[in-house]
Chains A and B, each alone.
Chain A
Amino acid sequence: MYLATTGRRPDAPSRPRTGAGRRVPGTVLALGAVSLVTDVSSEMVTAVLPLYLVLGLGLSPLQFGFLDGLFNGATALVRLLGGRLADRGGGRHKAVAGAGYLLSALSRLGLLLAGGAATGIAAALAADRLGKGVRTAPRDALISLSTPPADLGRAFGVHRAMDTTGALLGPLAAFAVLWAAADAYDAVFVVSFATGLLGVLVLVLFVRDGAGAGTPAGPAARADRPTVRQLLREPALRRITGAAALLGAATVGDSFLYLLLQRVLGLPPEVFPLLPLGSAACYLLLAVPAGRLADRTGRRAPFLAGHLALLAGYLLLLVPAGWATLALVLVLLGVFYAATDGVLMALAGPVLPAAGRAGALAVVQTGQALARLVGAAGFGAAWTWWGTRPALAAAALALAAALLAARRVLPEGKVS
């Protein structure tokens, strides 16, 4: 199953336009709109949750940290389940993704109804994470199945840009609601719930299921649906997952980078919450151009270049030079995400069997996510035992080594 055999349907007519004028499929734009609206909904809650739990309900920071971290690791594994369910019966991507979106939307009502009960809040947060885990792989499979392989980088770029827009708007929306509702947190949950429902509705009304949009339809697809074990025997999937995991294990985690920036440059604590906004804005601007570049050059080069940008960020932090360092590191982090996040899906999509697309993408994402957890934990330990600079130098070395290895392992991902 390689690009040459599965990437292009022999009956696909030639595209009417090429280059910048080419359209992104409607399903991708609709999915982007769903992600945008959903991210507004979820980031609204994220912005007020600490205040609500600690001040509104009197939870201790310890309990809050426990609740917050409780299901983070589980999300990665739920993705495999979501991917597997979505592939069932020749493509139930829309139904599974929709269930995930709906579960997250309903979790806001759970927060509202839980009142002060910690178990209720924990259940609501668990439902939110479960929904997020379940929907990711079928959503990305839908994007990859409804887009001609040669345009995948751009399609994922558009989707990720819309997604990030939602993430940036969420806290603003929360701020507006708190202002209008005289600091009533429950109003934020209600508005977030309504926004979440709207996202589900856009999905139901405007997204076409993967079955009709590129999967080799019919009962044959059903029989061909590979299990996770069979997927893992697929050499392309193993190579992509291996490379993504290797690189993931060599990344130190965003919060570490922000913390390092703050420590190394002595930033005032007021600036700290703004740092992620800087890199997100950069990601937003670069996601589409990076995706288009990936379509043109093959996806391996931008993916590796993105990690090279991250490596440059590490090195910059080793020789700090004030505000220039701050700006550069944030830009480099944005470049890293723009050139890797959607691009990896665009790289993996066409190489993987259409009938098991969601499950296969879930394997790639889970491998990467678990490796990143390991990487962050390892860096945390290195920081504590060796101090900032040796830990950072070690991380840079590890990333450089992982890059060299990934360059050999990763398929090129060039389609046309």
Chain B
Amino acid sequence: MTTVDRPGAVGQDGTAADEAAGWRFPVWRSVVLGVALLALLGGSLGYVLHARERGGAHREVAADASFALDRPGLYYRDAASGRVAREGGPVGGPSCERFYAGGERALCLRALPGTPVRTEAVVYDREFTRLQSVVVPGVPNRARVSASGNLLSWTAFAVGDSYAVSGFSTRTSVLDLRSGYLIKSIEDIPLTVDGVRYHAADVNYWGVGFAADDNRFYATVSTRGRTHLVEGDLAGWSARTLRENVECPSLSPDGTRLAFKKKVSDDPAAPWRLYVLDLADLREHPLAETRSVDDQAAWLDGDTLGYALPAGSGRGSDLWTVPADGTGAPALRVPGASSPVAVRT
């Protein structure tokens, strides 16, 4: 505001006539501005303090000492507290935006405060002892752990490096706990599309799911406006596309089927529907859930899928389940929850 209050700066239009007439400080206008400034400042400060009092957004909370992945069951993120909870049990886990677990490891994605947005991926053991953490740019988006707990993968949604007018960009990382090797972005993996080696600047990966051999993985690759199901080989450092229009694949416990979301509509309000793909004959069938699901579905057992849907209230999400064979009907499992994972012992 200093520029405005500078004598000789305000209230004249720069002609010499005005200057010759002598410039007068705009007293009343400055008083009005001063009063308004104080009122707006006071109001803003009041709201900020109120928000702080209310608790702001979710603060980072560590897990309670009594909380562990020690019992089999359904674990999820509780929308109200932002913390990990067990179905029928207490809300005692760490605060995470996305959560998943497998074997002896759990993965928690957290948005670091401030701008630009960064994601912290934290690796825990079953007692929620913090083992390792990696910080990547972007907004937390997907988290997966292989069944053994050896491989972890996460996707962050990067804002600002997309060159298309309305595009977005993702960065998917894979961490191998056996070697400690971290692949910060799997975009460099040699990709074969429809049998031909493929090069393009706009390749994006997201939604990795691991096979039981801790080497093979499935993921979405997007390029030139289309999405493909890709099968990757970490040891062989190669990837090839299997099929078009498959996003966020999730491999069944027996490794024979893939649950995924398929884009069925150009309506941005409801673009997807859940499908299951049979890997033996590459045939797919829609599930009984007809609403648009934007989540990487999780296999709660060999026959049931769990996923989050926006809550009716407009805030947060609810956890639903649906049979994997296309029969039955979706059922509300846990209100106010997301990031489902079935923990076995």
Q: Does A127 contact B (CB under 8 A)?
A: no
Q: Given the known A-B contacts A178-B114, A183-B59, are A12 and B161 also in contact in the complex, defined by CB atoms under 8 Å?
A: no
| Majority secondary structure of chain B interface residues (helix, strand, loop or mixed) | loop
Complex CA gap A54/B40 in Å reads 29
| Contact in complex: B113, A183 (CB < 8 Å) | yes
Q: Given the known A-B contacts A178-B114, A384-B201, are A206 and B44 also in contact in the complex, defined by CB atoms under 8 Å?
A: no
Q: Closest Cβ of chain B: how far from A63's Cβ, in Å? A: 5
Partner of A26, one of B9, B54, B116, B170: B9
Complex CA gap A214/B26 in Å reads 21
| Contact in complex: A269, B139 (CB < 8 Å) | no
For window 139-173 of B, CB contacts with A under 8 Å fall at: 139-141, 157-168, 170-171
| Contact in complex: B141, A70 (CB < 8 Å) | no
Q: Does A61 contact B (CB under 8 A)?
A: yes
Q: Closest Cβ of chain A: how far from B188's Cβ, in Å? A: 11
Which residues in A have their C-beta under 8 angstroms from that of B141?
54, 61
Q: Mark A2-36, 1 if CB is under 8 A from B, else 0.
A: 00000000001111100000011111111011000
Among B3, B14, B171, B268, the one with the most A-chain Cβ atoms within 10 Å of its Cβ is: B14
A-B pairs under 8 A by CB, number: 229
Q: Does A182 contact B (CB under 8 A)?
A: yes
Q: Does A285 contact B (CB under 8 A)?
A: no
Q: Given the known A-B contacts A65-B166, A70-B166, A179-B113, are A272 and B36 also in contact in the complex, defined by CB atoms under 8 Å?
A: no
Q: Mark B3-30, 1 if CB is under 8 A from A, else 0.
A: 1101011111111110100000010010
| Contact in complex: A205, B165 (CB < 8 Å) | no
* Chain A residue, CB-CB nearest to B140: A55
Q: Closest Cβ of chain A: how far from B241's Cβ, in Å? A: 17
Partner of B47, one of A190, A213, A270, A373: A190
Complex CA gap A220/B58 in Å reads 62
Q: Count residues of B near A (Cβ-Cβ below 8 Å).
A: 81
| Contact in complex: B139, A65 (CB < 8 Å) | no
Which residues in B have their C-beta under 8 angstroms from that of A256?
163
For window 240-278 of A, CB contacts with B under 8 Å fall at: 253, 255-256, 258-259, 262-263, 269-270, 272-273
Complex CA gap A259/B316 in Å reads 34
Complex CA gap A134/B44 in Å reads 27
Chain A residues touching B, range: 35 or more
| Contact in complex: A181, B314 (CB < 8 Å) | no
Q: Does B136 contact A (CB under 8 A)?
A: yes
| Contact in complex: A55, B97 (CB < 8 Å) | yes
Q: Mark B263-300, 1 if CB is under 8 A from A, else 0.
A: 00000110100000000000000000000001000000
Partner of B157, one of A16, A54, A58, A259: A54
Q: Does B51 contact A (CB under 8 A)?
A: yes
Q: Given the known A-B contacts A270-B137, A272-B161, are A51 and B48 also in contact in the complex, defined by CB atoms under 8 Å?
A: no
Q: Does B303 contact A (CB under 8 A)?
A: no
Which residues in A have their C-beta under 8 angstroms from that of B167?
65, 69
Partner of A33, one of B4, B115, B316: B4
Partner of A273, one of B26, B137, B162: B137
Q: Does B235 contact A (CB under 8 A)?
A: no
For window 53-81 of A, CB contacts with B under 8 Å fall at: 54-58, 60-70, 72-73
Q: Does B321 contact A (CB under 8 A)?
A: no
Q: Does B56 contact A (CB under 8 A)?
A: yes
Q: Closest Cβ of chain B: how far from A171's Cβ, in Å? A: 5
Which residues in B have their C-beta under 8 angstroms from that of A61?
141, 157, 168, 170
Q: Closest Cβ of chain B: how far from A117's Cβ, in Å? A: 6
Which residues in B have their C-beta under 8 angstroms from that of A50?
117, 139, 157, 159
Q: Closest Cβ of chain A: how far from B171's Cβ, in Å? A: 7
Q: Closest Cβ of chain B: how far from A321's Cβ, in Å? A: 21
Complex CA gap A389/B194 in Å reads 26
Q: Does A288 contact B (CB under 8 A)?
A: no
| Contact in complex: A198, B40 (CB < 8 Å) | yes
Beyond A55-B140, A197-B40, list 4 extra A-B contacts (CB 8 Å).
A30-B9, A50-B139, A72-B165, A208-B13
Can you identify 22 A-B contacts, CB atoms within 8 angstroms?
A16-B19, A23-B8, A25-B13, A26-B11, A50-B159, A55-B111, A56-B57, A64-B157, A66-B268, A69-B165, A70-B166, A116-B314, A162-B3, A180-B48, A182-B55, A182-B56, A182-B57, A201-B32, A206-B4, A262-B161, A269-B161, A383-B201
Q: Which residues of A are interface residues toward B (Cβ below 8 A)?
A: 12-16, 23-30, 32-33, 47-48, 50-51, 54-58, 60-70, 72-73, 115-118, 146-148, 151, 162, 171, 174-175, 177-187, 190-191, 194-195, 197-198, 201-202, 205-206, 208, 212-214, 253, 255-256, 258-259, 262-263, 269-270, 272-273, 373, 376-377, 380, 383-384, 387-388
Q: 7 tightest CB-CB pairs across the interface, nearest first?
A: A69-B166, A182-B56, A25-B14, A116-B314, A184-B51, A183-B57, A273-B116
